[in-house]
Structure 1
Amino acid sequence: MMTDTQSATPALCRLQLGSELRQIRLEAGLTSTQVVKKLLWSPSKLTRLETGDNATVEPADIMALCQIYAVDDETAELLKGYAAVTKTKREWWQSTAFRPILGPGAKAFLGLESSASALHSYNSEYVPGLLQTPEYVRVLHRHASGGRSDEDIERMVEMRMMRQNVLRRVPPLKFATVINEAVIRRHVGGHSVMRAQLAHIIEAASTPNVKVQVIPFTAGVYRAMNGSFTTLRFRDDSTLKPIVYLEHLADHWVMRREADVELYEDAFNELQTLAPGPQESLDLIRKAMEEL
């Protein structure tokens, strides 16, 4: 159970609160249907609380749940503390500048990413967002944003750069990524944009919390060929279990089932084994730069 709410982000408090509320409900032997009937809530309200999907959490709602679950005073105060953080602090992406360009899926992922202690990603088509340059981001959004204005695209560029602060915070996010060789070979925005992007990956990989590997074409067939994915782990003092985040053109979703998470974590470990080590992978990136 996480007790340091002073330094915790609102997103982490929402996730932690949801995880603990669900665990307490199960220990009390209550179904979600029984709880919402007692409180005259909609089923979706309790679901959003338990999955951490609400932007803010009302302390009064937590007090009502604590009464039903008969939790002790110390636990009740801690849970209300989590809720209070969501009411008094704001995440950077909740600013008016970013609100118009952020859908629910993006908000959900930003909350997860900002709360994670370690993030592993496999990227089959483009450079992972945490390693993208402004010019690379700009080109991607001009082709994928469905006629967005230049102003909105610049907001997206700014937002992507803000996201990358997780790599420089204290303590920094531990980020390991395996990228398909196609990512470093695909010309996004022309030679100069791509050279700068590859140079940035090499620079980022020089920091101790960032590890980059490239899975070469010569690796042949492997389990993760059917798409990109991200796995996230959270602080040791939290009750949050690892999760998987998947995103496609029309949808996104989070997978929490232990067997599913284990499948993706095993696939990532396999990728790291198949790919050349970090130094050899950076040599592949340097070679791609030279060929540009």
Structure 2
Amino acid sequence: MIDRETEPVNQHRSPTIRRRRLGVELRRHREAAGVTIDVVAERLGCSTSKVSRIETGHTTATPSDVNRILDIYGVNDSVKSELVQIAREARQKGWWHPYSTVLTGAYVGLEAAARSIRVFEQQLVPGLLQSEEYAIAMIRAARLEDTDREIAQRVRVRMERQALLIQDDPIDLQVVLDEAVLSRPVGGDAVMRDQLIRLIEAAELPNVTLQILPFASGAHAGMDGAFVILEFEEEGDADVVFIDNATGGLFLEKADELRKYISIYDTARRSALTPAESVEMIEMLVEEPLWKSKRRVSGSI
């Protein structure tokens, strides 16, 4: 049973996280009742894949479906009332819903619900820290088939996501950036210099920790690729590792997977410059960017 009287107030709560929570609770009650997914599907007159997707939080269940499912499990009216209410909350539209045509997966909804986010990035500035001009240049280069309207929508979502950093109860953001991120002039010289200044400004926020992993550190724990660790406030909401890709990304939730990525992140963080040293490095690059170095072999800006 979920104690809604003592359940922590989470101002970051989103329909996505409510859907995940509902799925966890439904699966727990099904297993406690000794009922199989096949039985539930037969009683509801739906496919087993639908029941499975409800339990994993990939599909929204209607309040009516939740009520029928819980009748199968024989739960009491108090629990039923609580979970039906969560089902109603899960069907509400997040602020990002109008942009659903350019969004894939559930990342934005989970990000909106997180209490803290840890990012390791090798190639680009994370979306929460991007300037608008940097975002336009990056998306235009990466999304070759997008129309101007789709690019504009993606940029709008990215800019609105950044409100998480300055709202009344802001998320805690910890970022480790490979030096390569600072060395690639996305959008050209002026855009990239402005982006570096944006990083300096973001690092001044009390809820943002920014560290640079310099080339001089050599081989490091994060060389297999970039990832994000999303941590949630409520005990029933499992933390998630997100690995981005061109088709929407991969979510990892198993305990051993989380432990592995937390270990990788912590090891990379220890190899990185301190936050103060990182800001000093970025300030230096604003004045003397690596892409302007006379030692560059090819290309020009």
Residue in structure 2 matching 1:246, options 232, 243, 246:
243
Task: Name the CA shift for 1:20/1:272 in 2 (closer, same or farther; >3 Å).
Answer: same
Does structure 2 retain, via aligned residues, the 8 Å contact 1:219–1:274? yes
Mark the structure with the bigger radius of gyration: 2
Residue in structure 1 matching 2:81, options 77, 80, 96:
77
Offset from partner CA, 1:6-53 (integer Å, 9 cap, x none): 964222211211122122222223332333233332122112211222
Which residue type is aligned with residue 37 of structure 1? Answer: E
Higher-helix-fraction structure:
1
Instruction: Measure the CA separation in 1 of the matches of 2:252 and 2:36.
Output: 21
Q: Specify the alignment match of 2:297 in structure 1.
A: none
Q: By how many angstroms is 1:66 displaced? A: 0.8
Q: Specify the alignment match of 2:93 in structure 1.
A: 90
- TM-score scaled by structure 1? 0.91
Q: Specify the alignment match of 2:253 in structure 1.
A: 256
SS, match of residue 118 in structure 2:
strand
The number of residues matched between the two structures is 284
Which residue type is aligned with residue 269 of structure 1? Answer: D
Instruction: Measure the CA separation in 1 of the matches of 2:222 and 2:181.
Output: 15
Which 5+ residue runs of structure 1 have no aligned equivalent? none
Which residue type is aligned with residue 121 of structure 1? Answer: V
SS, match of residue 201 in structure 1:
helix
Residue in structure 2 matching 1:281, options 278, 281, 284:
278
Range with bigger deviation, 57-66 or 241-250: 241-250
Matched ranges for 1:1-292 at <5 A = 1=2, 3=4, 8-54=13-59, 56-87=60-91, 89-95=92-98, 98-103=99-104, 105=105, 108-236=106-234, 238-250=235-247, 252-292=249-289
Instruction: Measure the CA separation in 1 of the matches of 2:276 and 2:265.
Output: 18
Q: By how many angstroms is 1:250 displaced? A: 4.0
Does structure 2 retain, via aligned residues, the 8 Å contact 1:2–1:239? no
Q: Which runs of 4+ in 1 moved over 4 A?
A: 4-7
- TM-score scaled by structure 2? 0.89
SS, match of residue 121 in structure 1:
strand
Instruction: Measure the CA separation in 2 of the matches of 1:99 and 1:251.
Output: 12
Instruction: Measure the CA separation in 2 of the matches of 1:26 and 1:266.
Output: 32
Instruction: Measure the CA separation in 1 of the matches of 2:246 and 2:85.
Output: 37
Which 5+ residue runs of structure 2 have no aligned equivalent? 290-301
SS, match of residue 223 in structure 1:
coil
Does structure 1 retain, via aligned residues, the 8 Å contact 2:10–2:233? no
Task: Name the CA shift for 1:276/1:168 in 2 (closer, same or farther; >3 Å).
Answer: same
Task: Name the CA shift for 1:31/1:220 in 2 (closer, same or farther; >3 Å).
Answer: farther
SS, match of residue 226 in structure 1:
coil
Instruction: Measure the CA separation in 1 of the matches of 2:55 and 2:3.
Output: 16
CA RMSD of aligned residues (A): 1.8
Instruction: Measure the CA separation in 2 of the matches of 1:39 and 1:50.
Output: 14
Does structure 2 retain, via aligned residues, the 8 Å contact 1:2–1:16? no
Instruction: Measure the CA separation in 1 of the matches of 2:163 and 2:79.
Output: 33
